[in-house]
Structures are given as C-alpha cells and as structure tokens.
Structure 1
Amino acid sequence: MKIKHIAMAAMLLAATAAQAAVSPDEAKQLGQSLTAVGAEKTGNKDGTIPEYTGGLTNGPAVAKGSGMREDPFAADKPRLSITGKNLAGQEDKLTAGTKELLKRFATFRVDVYPTHRSVVLPKQQLDNTAKNALSAKTTDGGVGVEGALAGVPFPIPKSGNEVMWNHLLRYQGHAFATKFDSWNVDASGVPTLASTGEIFQEFPLSDPKVSEPAKQNDVFFRIKLSYSAPARRAGEALLTLDAVNPAVQPRKVWQYLPGQRRVKLAPDVAYDTPNPASVGTSTYDDAWVFNGALDRYDFKLVGKKEMIVPYNNYKITYHKNPADIVKPNHVNPDMVRWELHRVWVVEAVLKPGKRHIYSKRVFYIDEDSWTALASDAYDARGQLYRASFDHMTFSYDVQALQTGNHMIYDFVSGTYNITGVAGPHGGTRYIAPLKAAEWSPDSLAGAGIR
C-alpha cells in the first residue's frame, strides 16, 4: 500500500491532551500548494486526478423551492469498469469492503468515471479555515475542539482525531429538510421499506452571523426526525443535539414513542446501539459513515492515498424510483458513480476497556470536502464485518455538501441497507433555521402524534 506516512513527531503530538495548531509558515501553504481547505492543489502524475481549479461554480439551474438537482456530469462515460474478473491490479485503490463485494457477487461492478473536483465552499468558510489553521486545537485527548470558527477546523491535520473532526464539522449549509426512505435488502434479495421519515438538520455554527469561535458546550449539529412509515413506526420522533466537546457536553437525545405518549431522554441513541431505522443493519454511529463522539477509539492517521470511491452521485441521490436502486445483494451498479480521489486514511482501534461491536474501523475521508466517503468495520475476531459508503453530492446552488444518501453492507448476515433515498420525495430543500421553540423536547410530542 503506497501511503504518504505522517511524520513521527506529529503522531507523538496527537497523543497529547491538546493538539497544537500549525505554525504560520505551514499555514502559508493554504491557497498556494494546498487549496483553501487543505487539499493538494495539483493533480496526480498520470492525470487521472485533475488539478483543483475552483470547483463547480456554474451548475444547472435549480427551481426556487425545489430540492432536486440535475447531474452536471450526466454526459460522462466510464473510463473503467471493474468486476471480480478484472480486479487484479486495482486492489490497492479499493477499500476492503469494495473488494469483498466484487469477490462475492458476479453482478457487482465499479464503474469509474472521470474525476471532477466539484466542491467549493462559501468565502466565509474559506476565510475561517485559514484562521482555524492557526487557532483550532483538539482537547480532552482529541474528543473535543476549541478555538474553531465555522469552516474546516484542521486544514493541515496532524492526527486522526483532527481528520475525523474535519468530517464531523464539514460544511453542509445552515439548515435543510429532507423526506427520505430507508430500504433493507435481506440475504434472499427481498427489499423491505425499513422506514420513511422527514429530517430537519441544522448546523448552528454555520450561521453566517456567527463570528466567534465555538465554546465547548456549543451545539454544532442538531436533527429533528419524525417517522411516517411503516405503520409500526408511524408517529415516532427523535431530537438529537451534538456539542463540539462531548466530554463537556455529551450528546442529548429525546425520543417520542406513540405507544407511550410521552417524550423521554434516550441516551442509548449513540455508539453501537442498533439503529431501528435500518432494522438493526447498522449502528447509530454508522450514520453518514460516522457520527458522534470520538472517545471509544484511538484514531491513527495512516496517511493519504489515491482511492476509487463513490463521488458526485447525483443519479442515485435524486432518482425517483427506489425499485431501480435496491437490487438483490447490492444496489444497482448502474446507479452509482465512482471516481479516483485522494483520501485521508484513518484507522480507529477500540480503546482498552471500551465497548463497541467493531474492534477496528478504517475511514476514507475526501481531501476536497472532508466527507467520509467509505469505511470498513471489523468484528472482535478481526474479520471484515461491515462496509459503509456515502453517495456524496455537491449542492452547487448553495455551495454545500449533501451527504444524506449512505449505505451499509453486512457481510455476516448478507443484508444491506440504504438510507436517504430522497428522490421519490423531492430531494433536499435548503431552508431557514427552525425557531428555537421547535428544537425543544416538548415540540416532539405535537409532531409525533399520529
């Protein structure tokens, strides 16, 4: 595996209680050899990864109030199609989960399209990122962040925790709403609607009016989720708040269950608790490939690597007919776009004395967007257990990442789940933030009554 190894000094610093920001001389790389968010500006030697030239700034028009976006790269044709028969020579560029799917299923295919470095963030995010490089630090052994403005907190990362925080704080706009389906496909190939829900996601730190660094108990991510299908889940609702330092302010979750007719705290909605939205095919911290606190794993920054990963997946994200997507054994390969990109590789190993069903996880985080595009999860025996993928798109009309369509394969049970199938329900709408009263636990009861 050809990986650019991180310097030993940086690894030693990662073990300290507070990770130091980079030096002014290092920070000068931003906007020069590095992009404003810390990606390598140049392409690769053979031209299969192009130079970064500013991202997608002239995408197709989006109707006012619409959540649907056209594929700006629909005319592209695959430059390579990988199957189990021609896998040789490509293994080094594929995740363990991708290789397992190719080996297991003759019908699985990886269509590799020309690489487009489409992501570009608003100017305020870029300006803040330059400031963060000199001021942002991790705290409590990498579990929290301090001194960070809205933007990439660690554009020149020195530790695995810093890369994971870049993923957690990736720019997704200020607020949006999506109605979506979650589908499970069992080992016999039968698809079942696991849930239909409507989710409001808000990122308070991304409010353009916020000009001060986040305080330790400030909420950076909050979701309000209500389910309408299937019948057994209709009326359920969930409210989740995540702060920039879970060691100071742990995740807060409230749940409304129609049968009980009351709102209650739900501290188990975290870590490896099975997620009922996927009928237990995934854990709560599998959502969006990874979410939640970093306290149960040691995150090692392995380095950067060229990998074939899902990217610019407008087709599957905005497709209107789920039957075209969910197929036996795996999603329809015709629906998924793969590209070659440079990603940061982070290996997470379960800490001694901590509990989780995954003993090790490997994350692949895009250098341009800081989105976790894929992960491999291993069980207590060290065997590959599950593999996750995110079908990231760039919402070019608002300069924000959309990472709601994600999926997970369970290699033990032979099942898979895809969540965030929003095309049938009108896609993703960027909205004004909800009123403060709508983020109170009491608001769940009114929203959840059938």
Structure 2
Amino acid sequence: MAKLVITGFIMAGLLVAGEVAAKVPPVEAARLGADLTPVGAERAGNDAGTIPPWTGGLTTPPAGWQPGDVEIDPFPGDKPLFVITSDNLGEHRRYLTDGHVAMLEQYGGAYTMPVFQTRRTASYPERVYDQLRENALTAELLENGNGVRNTITTSPFPIPRDGLEVIWNHILRYRGEEVSYRSAYATPTTGGSYNPVMTEYNYYFAYSRPGAKLADIDNKIFYLRTEILSPSALAGTITLVHETLDQVRSPRLAWRYEPGSRRLRRSPNLAYETDLPNTSSLRTVDQKDMYNGAPNQYDWELKGKRELYMPYNAYRLHSRDNSADDIIRPNHINQELTRYELHRVWVVEATLRTGISHVYTRRVFYVDEDSWQILASEEYDQDGKLWRVSEAHNINYYGEPVFWTTLEATYDLKAGRYYVDGLDDGQAAYNFNPGFRESEFTASSARRAARR
C-alpha cells in the first residue's frame, strides 16, 4: 500500500463534537491560484512526471462538437499505456485501491483496468473560482459538522483541514445552475441480463445560482424531480426531493408518486441506509452521487493524499456510439470501454459512530483533488469485510464547464452483481440551461405533473 502523502496545510487531529472549524487565514488563501489551483489542488505535477501540472483544465471543446451535441472524446488518439490484470497485479498494487485489488482478484482475467495518459481536464466557470477564494476565507462548519455557513455556490473548503471538510466539498461541489437529462439504470443478473429503467432527471441548484445568498435559499442545496419513463410497470413514477444543507436541523424533504396509488406521498425514509428504490437492494440511498446527505452517522478521518489509478475522462462510456448492450457484462461493466489515469486523490475514511445503525460500518472515499468529485469508494459490512466497491466515471462537460459523472457503478462482491446508472445511449445531451423556475419543484407542481 502506497505511503500516504500528507500535505503541509492539513491540521493535526480531527474535528471534535461542538467545535467549529477555523477559517483559512488570508496568507493561506492566497495560495489558491498560485501553487494551488483555484479549486485547491496541487498545481504542479508529480516528481516522476506521470501526473502533469494543471494548466486550466479542458476549457475549449474539441473540433467537431457543437452546442447541443453529446460530448465527443477530446483525446481520440490516446491508447492505453498498459492494462492491469490479475496476472500483473503485483507490479501495480501500490497505485491501486483495495477495492480495485479485490475486483481484479475476484474476477480474474475478465476484469481489467486500461491505464491511459493522465489528463487533468477538470474545469469550472471563472465565477466559481472567484467564489472558492471567498469561501476559503469565510466558510465554517456548523457545530458537530452537520452543515456549513458563510459559503455559497461551490465547495466551502478548498484548503481542507479534516475529512469532514473534504466530504462537504464533494456534497457542495459545483454541478451547474440547473440541468435536465435522461438516462437509464440497471441491476444485471450474474448472467448479464438486465431491464433498464429509463428516467428523466431535472435539477435546480439553488445553492449555485448567480447572486444566491445562503440566508435566502431556505437551507436548500438543490431541488430534484425525477420521472420514470420505462418500463411500463414503473412508468409515471415521480420522485421530488428538496435537498437541505443542514439535514439534522431540517431533514431532506421527499415525495413519491406511484401511478398505482395515484397519490403523491411523503417519503420520510429516503435517506441514509434505505435501499435506493428499484436497485435490487444493491445500493443505499446515501450512495447516490457516491455520497449524499447528512454526515452525522460517521466519524470522518482524513488519511492524506495518494497517487492512484482512478476512473477519469470516460468519454467512451459517455459516447452514444456505445449502447447499454455494449456496456453491460456479467459481474461488471465492459472494462474495455473504461479509462483509468494516475491522479492525486484525498483519502477519507468514515467509521460508523457508536450506537448508530447502518449496513456499512466503514467506508473509504477517494476524492479528486481537481474537482472534489468522489471517484471511487469502498463499503464494508458488519464484520469489517469489504462488501461493495463503487466507481464514478466522469467527464468534463462542454455545455457547462463542470466535471461530473456520466456513469456510476456499485459492485457487490458477495452477490457477484452490480448496479449501474448512466446508460444514456440514444438520449440527448445534458441540457445545462433548461430554464427551470424554482416554483416547478413544489409538491403541488409534482401533483399536477402526475395528473398529466
């Protein structure tokens, strides 16, 4: 296991209950845009030259792409530097997570990891970079770490001091102001057969709107309305979520409409370890987006940084040239369509607090230094054994400069099955400017939509 590299600006120790994290002093915040990127990553590459310096990310779409088109691969000529298999695992183990080692060992030659040249493509709008600098000077964790204050738009802690701040950076990272798209998810059997559930997703990010103030957004991060389009047995199911910032003070609000009942009902249990609906119990609600919701069930420890092979620049998985049939395989997705690169990631370990019930007693998260996106995670069972391995395959979008997932997968090592979300073949590109209004995300508007 590679030695953890602890950067000099991490304070020793963890945030204890009742303590409020200190703001970053101006002299430290001045590093943003200097030796640190505006997001807080190390601007320089590594000594070996295998990680390049960050030079602004992918800010110009490749030739041939037009607004409204699905993103195309900006690096079509890239070929794998090498492919990691169960046979050569020992040569590369120091750059692999425990989860990836387990996948290679369990699935043998069928599971491989093609490793490509590292491309630090993550980029955001300039106003997001400006706000990151402001957040660094003002943002604070609320008591017990269940929320944040004096922050807006994007990640609060570009120079993090503990694991809880890193997780809040993921939860509040910039994902645009609003977005609408369609994609399917599935839970293939061990033989590879599957029934995709096509869903429309509509997000309105109140926290990230231009000019938004924390005092004016009613403790809301975003509003989400989803509608299942197929199969017919589930079509018309609508879910409405109001994602709150401090979920202990004001828990997530959720409603669900099922055509069979013809009623929109509150869903008070749509959080934490509850099974994510229609996922064959292969994923919990708080695994959506790799991790979401209140962090109060775990103690969070920042283990430092590591250089690891991570899923990155997944334009082949995003491509409409590859259908769901091309992606889905028994036990895991088609690894020939994946792309792994060497990146620096923050390693955060979550340990279940005494007296708290959750199916995962320990979780390990690998968080991209360039975007604050969780790229991979590991989930451990009640006996402390590795149970599930999750990945987020990301791209830098062109319609809005934002680094976000195109496909997520959670692999159950016990069942030999997996959940995959992001099967969007044949669907239109993500629309980052659909023109939503906040009033379209009320319970009454969801009822009206259900009656249509």
TM-score (norm 2): 0.95
Q: 2: CA distance between counterparts of 1:209 and 1:147?
A: 14
Q: Which residue of 1 aligns with 2:237?
A: 236
AA aligned to 1:431 is: N
| Correspondence for 1:380 | 382
Match of 1:125 among 125, 128, 131: 128
Conserved in 2, the CA contact under 8 Å of 1:343 and 1:364?
yes
Secondary structure in structure 1 of the residue aligned to 2:24: coil
CA distance in 2, matches of 1:272, 1:195: 22
Does the CA contact (< 8 Å) of 1:6 and 1:302 recur in 2?
Answer: no
Hey, what's the Cα distance between the residues in 2 that align with 1:65 and 1:346? 37
Instruction: Determine if contact 1:6/1:301 at 8 Å carries over to the other structure.
Output: no
Deviations 1:106-143 (A, max 9, x none): 21110010001111211111111111111001113111
1:141-290 correspondence to structure 2 within 5 Å: 141-187=144-190, 189-210=191-212, 212-213=213-214, 217-290=218-291
Paired position in structure 1 for 2:440: 438
Moved over 6 A (4+): none
CA RMSD of aligned residues (A): 1.8
Counterpart of 2:53? 51
Asked if the contact 1:146/1:216 (under 8 Å) is kept, the reply is no
Q: How far did 1:321 drift?
A: 1.1
| Residue of structure 2 in register with 1:84 after alignment | 86
Q: Deviations over 1:194-248 (max 9, x none)?
A: 41110111211221232x3456842112210000222221111101111221122
8 Å CA contact 2:256–2:264 kept in 1: the answer is: yes
CA offset at residue 300 of structure 1? 0.7
- Aligned equivalents of 1:228 and 1:396: distance in 2? 26
TM-score scaled to structure 1, two decimals? 0.95
Q: CA deviation at 1:444?
A: 2.1
Distance in 1, matches of 2:78 and 2:215, equals 41
- Mapped contact 2:276–2:283 kept (Cα < 8 A): yes
SS at match of 2:89: coil
Aligned pairs (5 A) from 1:289-438: 289-319=290-320, 320-438=322-440
Of the structure 1 ranges 19-28 and 212-221, higher mean CA displacement relative to structure 2 is found in: 212-221
- In the aligned structure 2, how far is the partner of 1:15 from the partner of 1:32? 34
On the 8 A contact 1:160/1:301 being kept in 2, the answer is yes
1:11-30 equivalent positions in 2, closer than 5 A: 11-13=13-15, 15-30=17-32
**Would the aligned equivalents of 2:311 and 2:391 in 1 still touch at CA under 8 Å?**
yes
- Secondary structure of 2:241's aligned partner: strand
Work out whether residues 175 and 432 of structure 1, in 8 Å CA contact, stay in contact via their aligned partners in 2. yes
The alpha-carbon deviation at position 95 of structure 1 amounts to: 1.6
Structure 1, 426-435 or 114-123: larger mean CA deviation: 426-435
Size of the alignment, in residue pairs?
447
Secondary structure in 1 aligned to 2:304?
A: strand
Name the CA distance, whole Å, in 1 between partners of 2:66 and 2:34. 36
* Aligned-partner Cα distance in 2 for 1:102–1:263: 44
Q: 1:398 offset after TM fit, Å? A: 1.7
What letter matches 2:126 in structure 1?
A: K
Displacement of 1:165 in angstroms is 0.7
Secondary structure of the residue that 1:355 maps to in structure 2? coil
Structure 1 residue 433, shift from structure 2 partner:
4.0
Q: Which runs of 5+ in 1 are unaligned?
A: none
* 1:387–1:144 distance in 2 versus 1, CA, 3 Å: same
Change (3 A) 1:449 1:63: farther
**Counterpart check, 1:2 vs 2:3:** yes
> 2:247 touches 2:294 (CA, 8 Å); kept in 1?
yes
- Conservation of the 8 A alpha-carbon contact between 2:373 and 2:404: no
Contact 1:43 1:51 in 2 (8 A): yes
SS state at 1:126 partner: helix
Q: Distance in 2 between matches of 1:97 and 1:215?
A: 41
SS in 2 for 1:240: strand
Residue 5 of structure 1 contacts residue 303 of structure 1 at CA under 8 Å; is this kept in 2? Answer: yes
Which residue identity is paired with 1:238?
T
2:209 alignment partner AA = D
The residue type paired with residue 191 of structure 1 is S
Query: What's the offset of the Cα at 1:256?
Result: 0.6
**Alignment partners' CA distance in 1, 2:14 and 2:413:** 35
What is the CA distance between 1:404 and its match in structure 2?
Answer: 4.2
Residue identity in the other structure for 2:240: L
State the 1:29 CA deviation.
Answer: 1.3
Percentage of matched positions with identical amino acids: 36
User: 1:56 and 1:9, CA in 2 relative to 1: closer, same or farther beyond 3 A?
Assistant: closer
Unaligned runs of 5+ in 2: none
User: Partners in 1 of 2:257 and 2:65 — Cα distance?
Assistant: 35
- What aligned pairs does 1:26-105 form with structure 2 within 5 A after superposition? 26-60=28-62, 62-66=65-69, 68-105=70-107
